[in-house]
Amino acid sequence: MSSPQQGDVGASGPPASPRLSASWRRSEVYGAPHDAVSPAFTGSVDNESLFFDCGRQVLGGLHESLAGEPVSIMLTNADGVVLVRFCAERALVAALDDTYLAPGFAFSEREAGTNGLGLALADRAPSLVRGAEHYCTSLRSYTCAAVPVTDPVNGRLLGSVNLTTWSDKSDALLLPLTQAAAGHTAALMLARGRGAEPRPAPRGEVFRVYTPPGEDAAPNLSEAWVAAARELEAALAAGASVGVVGEAGVGKAALLTEALRRVRGQHRILHVRPPDARGADAWLALWTPELGKPDTSVIAGRVDALPSWAADELAMIVAQRERGSLAVTALDAGAVPAALSRLVDLVVELAPLRHRRQDVLPLTIHFARRMTGRAVHFTPAAAQALNSYDWPGNAEQLRRVVRDAANRASVVDVRHLAPEVLCSTGRVLSRIETVERDEIVRCLAEPGMTVTRAAERLGISRATAYRRVAHYGIRIPD
């Protein structure tokens, strides 16, 4: 089978779909080529991640089920770099190679203009781009369906699954197949990961952030926190728009809330979570009335997770308002959408909790009292365990651990803490490994317990017990 001729695919004007039209406009701004793509070549791909391993397994199975069909199946990372490609039809493989749609090449909108995988990554939504809807004419021989894949636990964008076929072929099942493959990849990652609960799908919720005075006031934290808060307060007092960036769960919204409280007194503060693609219209509709209220401050959380078109619309809404300033959070400054980045005057980076260890115990006491309504005490051993842990999930993880421990006892000891706090493996554990680790930790955390006695209780040899303790990096403070 030969590729269709490019002259047969249709007109070169922008498509009527709002999403596609917005993508074409972005492609023009990026300076994407109209005639022939010349994407960046990375030279290598990350083939050691859980995402790559699970994606390759799922797509390999799909490829086998589509034997004889002229379909190319690809996995990309979050930057649009093709990680792996499955395709059995020689003509399609040769055509894809001619347009560099191959492992190691980046195919985001910046490099290749409007295309399926680039649009899916930009808008974080399932996308289907047919023939003449491609910005670059050299891609108009194809129809491409792509679906973004996010981490099932923390929601971070990992990449996309892309199915590509000839533009003259039926595309009725292309997008459903792609959606199924993306869903199976995320599910397999969850099954092979820590056994954590999947992150709930975002709904664009708006909720009030309120810190009452008195006993529930913010704790006294480190100089790093105080310095960041002061910098934000000075900018907000001058009417500037600000942003806070940092790892997930580090306390970005809490820092902004504290700064806003100090500058704007009893303002009502709303923290707006990013929506999924289907709820973006309703999410945007919330902004116009809220931004116009003189006694309301709004924090746009995780703007790096916004679909590109929604970020552009939000920037237009903010630019047209008469009062107030913009406050945003993101994982890092470079991930803030360009349209919003131009409106932000100051970006402050909040260090992760492992670099602010002096904040761990004050936050521990604060979280425990706020969630139980009573004083909760922590033994020296428990405090040492909490202070020694690296907290990869930052303050959000600490909040969860403290909540569970405080619900078990008014005086929290090591045995009341989550097993994860007492271990450091440096890698993701399987579900079976997690169960084994937790059982060993629970046993060792009992008062007066030794490794020898724990081995007897667990029904394993003393040598095996010591090996498993070392394997999981288990440490029980005295």
**What is the tens place of the pLDDT at every residue in 89-131?**
999 999 999 898 988 888 999 889 999 999 999 999 999 999 9
Please check the confidence at residue 299 and state whether its pLDDT lies above 60: yes
More confident residue, 224 or 192: 224
- Record the tokens describing residue 99, joined without a space: 């347009």
Please check the confidence at residue 211 and state whether its pLDDT lies above 70: no
The kind and range of the H/E element at 235 are helix 223-237
Domain 355-472 has CATH 3.40.50.1970: no
- Lowest-confidence segment of 36-40, 305-309, 423-427, 453-457 by average pLDDT: 423-427
Percent of the chain with pLDDT over 90: 42
What CATH number belongs to 206-351?
3.40.50.300
Residues 159-179 have a mean pLDDT of: 90
- pTM (2 decimals)? 0.64
In CATH terms, the fold of domain 6-192 is Beta-Lactamase (3.30.450)
Residues 399-409 have a mean pLDDT of: 90
What residue has token string 């942003």? 243
- The ranges of the chain annotated as CATH 1.10.8.60 are 355-472
Q: What is the pLDDT of residues 342-357, one digit of tens each?
A: 999 999 999 999 999 9
Residues 89, 91: Cα–Cα separation, whole Å = 6
Residue 445 φ then ψ, to 5°: -80, -10
Residues 332-342 have a mean pLDDT of: 91
Question: Please, what is the end-to-end C-alpha distance for the chain in angstroms?
Answer: 72
- The ranges of the chain annotated as CATH 3.40.50.300 are 206-351
- The ranges of the chain annotated as CATH 3.30.450.40 are 6-192
Residues 76, 103: Cα–Cα separation, whole Å = 9
- In sign, the C-alpha dihedral spanning 19, 25, 26, 31 is positive
Split at pLDDT 50, 70, 90, the class of 232 is very high
Q: Find, among 386, 384, 385, 392, the residue nearest to 352 by Cα.
A: 392
Percent of the chain with pLDDT over 70: 87
Split at pLDDT 50, 70, 90, the class of 10 is very low
